[in-house]
Structure 1
Amino acid sequence: MILKKIAFILFFLNTFFVSSGYSQKYNAIDSIILKYPNFGSPEKLAQRIQKDFTSEYDRARAIYSWMAIKLNYDLETYLNPPKQKTYRFKTKAEWDKKKQLLDAKTIQKTFKSKEAVCEGFALLYGYLATLNGLKCQKVTGDSKTLLNDIGRKRLGSNHAWNTVQIEGKWILVDVTWGNGFYDEKRKVIVKKFKSIYFDMNPEYFYAKHFPDNAMYKNNTGNKETFLNGPLFYNGFFKAESQVVFPFSGVIQANDGDKMTFKFKNISRLEDLYCLNKKEERIEIESPKEENGILEFQITYDKRMGRYITFYLFEEGFAAFKIVPK
């Protein structure tokens, strides 16, 4: 039943949200991990990590880096998910035991094949963290990754990630998204290591993730607020920006209406531009900057399409959905 609950269908990762923690260079921990040989078991890998790294933070990062670098995303399962099995149990204890067996099987399969979807990534990360003496939990929930996710009504659970405790503080980890991205146009997985999804700022992390379990929902707002928000890309997080206005990612506008935008930490208009559905630049009108907030307007033309996407320094920044009044 729990396998029913999790539909492994959104691997996310469109092409504008793919740079590695603001830099494509590996850090010192990653450089050590890159030299690791193949290990016969998760336990042997965990022992090596314990030997090479002493702090909880470094071990948690080493596990993340090893998985993001060494594993591959299972494209076949993503595109053709198997039919979900159902199980019947008389007691919760019976189900807990069965679930442990299923999870253990997934962990071993993921480690051996070096391939999985998000469930396998999250389970293996949790197991390796536990072997390294870390408290770690798998979290399931909704992910927001595509333009048509803005304002969508379809609810559900489509992704899995982790939260791990480091020196008393819980940090957020999405090793699946650190592994690469799915190129929708070419229907291929592009491996591209990204460190940004390890210990990400919760404010930004929860702009893309919404947990199923209320105990993890220290993100602001409810599910509707989450879905109605803008779609953010790497450039937004890189600039440590904020959307001051509009308050929603769904904007009501008719032909000829002026739409006002206010972005914090974007002071140079020449660094920011936006495109319509034909990838043509849209004119930015009446720009002004005050106290680190850039304010401007765009005149809506229905030929622009349903979405407006902003770019900063040639990187995806944020996208909004336009609906008629």
Structure 2
Amino acid sequence: MKCYSFLLLFIIAFQVQAQQSDFETINFSKADKLALKCKNESLKNISNLASCLTDGLTTGVERFRAVFKWVTANISNDYSAYYRNKRKRKRYQSDSTKLNIWNDDFKKVMISNMIKHRKTICTGYAYLVQQLAEASGLECEIVHGYGRTSMTSEEDLQFPNHSWNAVKLNGKWYLADPTWASGIPDPESNRFTFDYNDGLFLTNPKLFAVNHHPIDQKWALLNESPSYDDFLNAPILYGNAYRKLNVIEAPLQFHHDINKNESVTFEYELASTLDKDALRFSIDNGIETKTVKPDSYETKDNLMTATYTFHNVGFYDVHLLLENSLISTHTVRVRR
């Protein structure tokens, strides 16, 4: 009986997992064309822009798609503003009065710059998506919390550093990150380049939780939300993980301590079927980097399981590649 109850709970949890595939019968081409058609519309009148974006769209998800695509295609990430805000927040972190004053003043400047120059930071992206979504008749929230990328330091996570959105569609809440979906910075110059990532539009919450941790855990949209420590210890994900994957089942931690001749198993739910030769590991021991095939590999219903065995003692950076796209990074310490 207990096994049956557990299975039933698992099935229910799986069924309520809110993700883009819930709308696989919806053709978003009309919404995407409207986002392109309204490219030159002003941000000074949110209602007019929302009307332009949703003209003739009959479903809530299409309206949200048009809003999301417009924001991610027309608003660039202002890294100078991000770093200025980061410095000020660090400076005032022990003085709540000055911090609140700075936050209020910065919000006004951020909104003004977004309207005039179409540049902002994550809170501006989330704010604009919310405003346009609500003007389109949708229920949408700004979610504040922690975001972790390959460039995020421990210092960046001393206080909440990221914002994104939750939107209600057909009575169910979904997650979307317009900031990370819009593009990427050059790691050397921090210049922004538009590079839309559809994987961050109505993302599966289990995948989203690997590098997003909301302050209010109800916005994780999971029956059992990862703890903050789980979030800190999770593997590093890259943008292509959202393009290639639906869920990471294992491993859910960044670092692994194993013994010589032991294996690490990787289990991912793929967004689409891939050839077995699409998977490679890039393994760096600090002296040399080699690209290798997994020791074992199998897929069933888009669930990919692969293992790699470490025969030599040492410390390794392990990068998983799918179709030559960097997906995730782990570290492995191999002992005798």
Settle same-fold status: TM greater than 0.5: yes
Cα distance in 2 for partners of 1:50, 1:284 equals: 47
More helix by share: 2
Cα distance in 2 for partners of 1:114, 1:171 equals: 26
RMSD: 3.5
Calculate percent identity across the aligned residue pairs: 20
The alignment status of 1:272 with 2:279, answered yes or no, reads yes
**1:4-54 CA-partner distances (Å, limit 9, x unpaired):** xxxxxxxxxxxxxxxxxxxxxx83322222122332422321232343433
The alignment status of 1:221 with 2:230, answered yes or no, reads no
Q: Which of structures 1 and 2 has the larger relative contact order (alpha carbons within 8 angstroms, sep 6+)? A: 1
Cα distance in 2 for partners of 1:208, 1:126 equals: 21
Cα distance in 2 for partners of 1:57, 1:77 equals: 32
Cα distance in 1 for partners of 2:249, 2:196 equals: 31
Out of 55, 58, 63, which is 1:54 matched to?
A: 58
SS of residue paired to 1:309: strand
More strand by share: 2
SS of residue paired to 1:308: strand
Cα distance in 2 for partners of 1:204, 1:158 equals: 19
State the one-letter code of the partner of 2:281.
C
How many residues align? The count is 290
Cα distance in 2 for partners of 1:119, 1:153 equals: 16
Aligned residue in 2 for 1:182: 185
TM-score (norm 2): 0.72
SS of residue paired to 1:298: strand
Task: Give the unaligned 5+ runs of structure 1.
Answer: 1-25, 90-94
Q: How does 1:19-168 map to 2 (within 5 A)?
A: 27-36=29-38, 37-39=40-42, 40-81=44-85, 83-84=88-89, 88=97, 106-146=110-150, 154-168=157-171
Cα distance in 1 for partners of 2:167, 2:249 equals: 31
Q: How does 1:204-283 map to 2 (within 5 A)?
A: 204-219=207-222, 220-240=225-245, 243=248, 245-246=250-251, 248-253=253-258, 256-264=260-268, 269-277=276-284, 280-283=289-292
Please say if residues 147 and 213 of structure 2, whose CA atoms lie closer than 8 Å, have aligned partners that are also in contact: yes
* Distance change (3 Å), C-alpha of 1:280 and 1:111: same
Please say if residues 250 and 268 of structure 2, whose CA atoms lie closer than 8 Å, have aligned partners that are also in contact: no
**1:108-157 CA-partner distances (Å, limit 9, x unpaired):** 542332110001111111111222222111111111211776x9995431
Task: Give the unaligned 5+ runs of structure 2.
Answer: 1-27
Out of 152, 175, 181, which is 1:172 matched to?
A: 175
State the one-letter code of the partner of 1:63.
V
Please say if residues 263 and 309 of structure 2, whose CA atoms lie closer than 8 Å, have aligned partners that are also in contact: yes
Out of 307, 310, 316, which is 1:299 matched to?
A: 310
State the one-letter code of the partner of 2:290.
R
Aligned residue in 1 for 2:200: 197
SS of residue paired to 2:327: strand
Aligned residue in 2 for 1:15: none
